[in-house]
Structure 1
């Protein structure tokens, strides 16, 4: 199953790229995490054959505008709404991982008419410390860009699933290979997630699946509090999985996703 890549202009002129895998409604719309891209979820999309699937490159990521001026949560939410409305979908099954899950949660709260079911992989209400966000930017700036080859990038970044996703997504230019994101934009985007959004989370009306990894980002206390405050939540835990469980616990992730979005 091959995708058609489309682009839409957001309200502020930012170009949002997204891939559409054809199939039946209701559509499944998937949002990647910080410093990722829709490419990470192509294997997930292919398991949903028979359903229309849309993978969005969020602003500042993938094939979308790399240096957007607006990195607010509202801008990210508006981009998703724009894609759904341009495609003229009825309510969709909205899926997100990490920062993409945070975006999905806010979309479901703001536009309940557009979200039939909600799936959050490794999500919470928001948070994080400024020093952690700064450290993340320092890490991205430490990359010896441009990499001369994908092989040299792989050697520098490591062989883990997330590192290999970054390598696969590098943009080839005349002088080498570059990441498809800017460190300063990533810091600005993740910093906007720092404000907890309990009010929005508690306002989500759609049935929600929250998926956590046993070796993920959140403590058991954080997981329990988040799930307990959601109005209509099912929790699934993945074993031997990281924050990027869609990459390193793929089979478990697919079972959890399919069981929920295909339920009657």
Structure 2
């Protein structure tokens, strides 16, 4: 499964970097969550063979522009549309996790012609308080950078699957290893997700799989309401999993994906 790194520069000058894994169309486009990158989903890309898979580093993340001037939801949506169009891949199957799920939802609402099927992992209509978002920024600023090694980073960040993913994605500089994102940009980006987007969600008629983890960030009431208000949504639940279920419940996650996107 060959991999190529590509990039597009969008109207505001932001460069969006992404990986393409060769395969058959329709392509699958995957969007990571806050402070992540497409690298987290390389195992998912392999699990979706023989499909073509695009892993996008959303603006402010990974190898895309680190300090974009614009972090509105509309800017994130436009980035995804530009990548899909640049690849001549439409319509695609679109997957997003957490903030990436929110982006994917808005892409499907704004560009229904670009999205064939939609998968939302640990996502909803939006929300979160200013206090919660500020606390995230404080957490990212607390990282004792630069890290001297990826092993040290994994240990200091908690040692779990998410810590391993963050450590694997660190940028190597002369004096050590640094995250590929800026805390202030993360706060600005997630703050834009605070406004609930029920009207967009309720407008989507694209077949949608909503995937939740039993140890994720949403209550049962929130899960049930979100799925019930979807026009064409069905739900899958992963057990023994967290908000980052693509990392810590991979077998269940990949089976649910393949059942929805491939075994048809």
1:193 partner SS? helix
- Supply the distance in 1 between the matched residues of 2:236 and 2:207 (Cα, whole angstroms): 14
Structure 1: unaligned runs, 5 residues or longer: none
Deviation at residue 160 of structure 1 after TM alignment = 0.3
Structure 1 residues 1-264: aligned runs within 5 Å: 1-264=1-264
Q: CA deviation at 1:90?
A: 2.3
Distance 1:208 1:148 in 2: 43
- How many angstroms apart in 2 are the aligned matches of 1:103 and 1:245? 18
Q: Could you give the per-residue CA deviations for residues 148-172 of structure 1, whole angstroms, max 9, x where no partner exists?
A: 2212212211210001100000000
Could you say what the CA RMSD is over the residues aligned between the two structures, in angstroms?
0.7
Paired with 1:90 and 1:77, the residues of 2 have a C-alpha distance of: 15
Aligned length: 264
Question: What is the TM-score with the length of structure 2 in the denominator?
Answer: 0.99
3-state DSSP class of the match of 1:28?
A: strand
Partner SS state of residue 105, structure 1: helix
1:41, distance to aligned residue in structure 2 (A)? 0.1
Distance 1:75 1:231 in 2: 25
**CA distance in 1: counterparts of 2:263 and 2:168, whole angstroms:** 33
Instruction: Find the aligned partners of 1:212 and 1:4 in 2 and give their Cα distance.
Output: 31
**5+ residue gaps, structure 2:** none
Per-residue deviation, 1:263 = 4.3
Matches of 2:90 and 2:149, distance apart in 1? 43
Counterparts of 2:142 and 2:227 in 1: how far apart (Å)?
Answer: 36
